[in-house]
Structures are given as C-alpha cells and as structure tokens.
Amino acid sequence: MKIKKILALLLTTVMLFTLSACGNNGDDNSDKSDKTYTIGIVQIMEHASLNTIRDAIITRLGELGYKDGENCKIDCQQANGEVSNVASILQSFEGEGCDVIIAITTPCAQSAAPYSERIPVVFSAVTDPVAAEVVDSLESTGGNITGTSDALDIEKILDFALTMKPELNTLGYLYNSGEANSVACLETVKAYCEAKNITVKEAAVSNSSEVQMAVESLCADVDAIFSPNDNTIAGAMGIVAQIANDSKIPVFVGADSMVKDGGLGTVGIEYTDLGIETANMVDSILKGEKKASEIPVKVFNEDLSTYINKSTAEEIGITIPDEIANGEKTIIFE
C-alpha cells in the first residue's frame, strides 16, 4: 500500500514538473509575442498635409496590429510651429522609453536626428533630407534613421503654372527663410525662371504673423505666387488664399492640402501614401526585420497627380484647360 502511495506521489510530481515546464515555455513565448511598444509621433504644427500623414501613419499601424491603448502606446504631439517645443517633446519621448520616434517635417527630423544614436528615428515629409543634413545619402543614411521624402518636382509644377497662366512674367516666391526645404527649393525655382525669362520676387517670413503683409506685398508686383511645402505658409493658407484671390493672383503650391485650402493648384503626390510607407518602415524596425540604417529613404516623386481648386479658379477668373480638366491624373476640388 505504501509502495502505491509512493508511486502515485512520484507520478504526480513528474506531471506537475512537466506542466510547470510547459507553462514556463508558453509564458516566454507570450512575453515575446505580447510585447507592447511606445511610439512617439511629433509634427511641427497642425495643418492639413501633416495631419493627413499622421492619420495615415496611425491607420496603417492599426492595420499592422499596433492598437493604441491595447498593445501599444502612440503618443502624438505637435509643436505649435516652435522648434523649441520639438526639443521638449523629444526629451519627453526619450524619458518615457519610446521604442521608435516618428518625426513629421524637416524641422522635427533635424531635431530628432541626434536621438537616433539611442532610439530608431523614422521621418516623414522631409523634402530634401540630404540637404537638411538629416541623412548622409538616400541609399545609406549613415545612422539609425530613415524615412520618406515628399521631394517636389518643381519643373512640373511651374510648367503647370505656365499652362494655367501663360502670361506669367513675374513670379512671387513665398516662404519661411528658416525652413531648409524652402530655401533649397528657391534655387531650383530661380534656375527654372531664368531659363524662361521669368522674374522672381521673394517674400520671406519668419513666422505666421508676417504672412499677411508678405502676400499683400507680392500681390502688388507679381503675376502669380508659388509656395513650396512650407509649413508656415501651409498653416496660413486661408489668409494667403483670401488675399491672393481678392487680387486675382493665382497661388501655386507644393501640397494637395494647400490646394484644398485655397491655392489654385499643384502637381504632386497623395500624402496618405507617404504616411502608409512611413508606418511600414516603423513596423519593419519594431519587428526586428531591419534596422533603420538598413532601410533607404523612400522618395515619392513618381505617379504624380494634378490638383486644382475649381472654386479658386472661378473666383480669380482662370479657365481650366480641357487637357488638364479631363486628365486621367487630375483631381479637382470643388
């Protein structure tokens, strides 16, 4: 009888040990599969283009399994147009142990780049990341950083401007002189206009409070205005469009959202695509498939569409040519 009890006790002990071992293996796997991530997203300010990118990033991350408040924390912050605020936001991201930082716009990417020594950084909407000294090159970034670029095809935009406004002799260039992308674009604009015998008149601002006066000054002297993917101007597009439309001056811009907000038109990309690819890069990094340094910068400069604001065209008395209005890649905002 004692022997049976001893055997039963031994059998029970073996079973418990086996179950315990299996349970531990399961817990280890669970820890790996159920790991939660903290993702920090910083953008320089609120405006339509940047919000489109941010929302597309979050939506795509959700599709990839990153559910904010469930299995990850997505901390979105914007800096109200102040680079000093970007620095504070990035410090808070590091303090809360972010696994990756997403920096939307060039000023944010420039501020985030030093953090890539400790945290992977993925940027978005950086027109020229090499000129902005965010990366060494598009193919090999030189650090734990990568991202997506919304490089402008300025020649196509200005060709479009000449189609819409053939009598374009003087072009106003409206920009924030503190934004590296806008300064870089200016040189390309000047070269194009010199070849076309078009005079360029600059109007530089340092903040949004100076935009109204700058636009009023340009409208008195130019046939049309061009503003690139400039965050300060994009944030003040309502004011820009109102003044220019009252003066019957067409405003050509760098982003589709700036057309929605009253600009006459542009030739460019769909900003949702920029956000989707940015999220794909983040996913690859978090899953350990690639380091940020192993992912080339993705430049969105192909498969471009033409964007036109029909209401603006009517208000300033410009007729949209049939070949543009009926084009396969033309998107008209009413």
**Mean local confidence (pLDDT), 67-80:** 94
Question: How much is the pLDDT for 34?
Answer: 67
Average pLDDT value for the chain: 90
Tell me the C-alpha distance between 190 and 121, whole Å. 33
Say if residue 103's pLDDT is above 60: yes
Backbone angles phi, psi at 148, to 5 degrees: -120, 145
**Mean local confidence (pLDDT), 287-303:** 93
Angle, alpha carbons 209-150-216 (nearest 5°)? 25
Say if residue 30's pLDDT is above 50: no
Q: CB within 8 A of 331, min separation 6: which ones? A: 256, 305, 306, 307, 308
DSSP string covering 281-304: HHHHHHTTS--GGGSPPEE--SS-
Question: How much is the pLDDT for 270?
Answer: 87
Residues of the chain with CATH 3.40.50.2300: 36-150+270-299, 154-268+304-333
Q: Are 199 and 12 in contact (CB under 8 A)?
A: no
Tell me the C-alpha distance between 40 and 24, whole Å. 33
Question: How much is the pLDDT for 49?
Answer: 86
Q: Cα 267 vs. chain centroid, distance in angstroms?
A: 17
More confidently predicted of 27 and 165: 165
Tokens for 331? 């998107």
Angle, alpha carbons 232-98-114 (nearest 5°)? 60
Say if residue 20's pLDDT is above 50: no
Residue with tokens 């902005």: 132
Q: CB within 8 A of 90, min separation 6: which ones? A: 40, 42, 101, 111, 112, 115
Say if residue 33's pLDDT is above 60: no
Say if residue 57's pLDDT is above 70: yes
Domain 154-268+304-333: CATH architecture, name and number where available? 3-Layer(aba) Sandwich (3.40)
Tell me whether strands 251-253 and 170-176 are parallel, antiparallel or unpaired. Answer: unpaired
What percent of the chain shows pLDDT beyond 90? Answer: 81
How many other CB atoms sit within 10 Å of the CB of residue 137? 11
DSSP string covering 132-190: TTS-S-SS--SSSEEEEE----HHHHHHHHHHH-TT--EEEEEEETT-HHHHHHHHHHH
Q: CB within 8 A of 308, min separation 6: which ones? A: 259, 264, 265, 320, 324, 325, 330, 331, 332, 333
Say if residue 19's pLDDT is above 50: no
Say if residue 109's pLDDT is above 60: yes
**Mean local confidence (pLDDT), 307-322:** 96
Residue 303's pLDDT band, with cuts at 50, 70 and 90, is confident
Question: How much is the pLDDT for 159?
Answer: 97
Measure Cα distances from 168 to 93, 161, 216, 249 in Å. 48, 8, 18, 11
**Mean local confidence (pLDDT), 160-188:** 94
Say if residue 104's pLDDT is above 70: yes
Question: How much is the pLDDT for 6?
Answer: 44
Say if residue 301's pLDDT is above 90: no
Angle between helices 154-164 and 180-195 (to 10 degrees): 50
Tell me the C-alpha distance between 133 and 297, whole Å. 13
More confidently predicted of 20 and 180: 180
Question: How much is the pLDDT for 185?
Answer: 92
Q: CB within 8 A of 166, min separation 6: which ones? A: none
DSSP state of 209: G
Tokens for 58? 């979050």
Residue 4's pLDDT band, with cuts at 50, 70 and 90, is very low
More confidently predicted of 302 and 254: 254
Angle between helices 48-63 and 271-286 (to 10 degrees): 40
Q: Are 74 and 80 in contact (CB under 8 A)?
A: no
**Mean local confidence (pLDDT), 321-327:** 93
CATH 1.10.10.10 describes domain 36-150+270-299: no
**Mean local confidence (pLDDT), 38-64:** 95
Tokens for 212? 């109204």
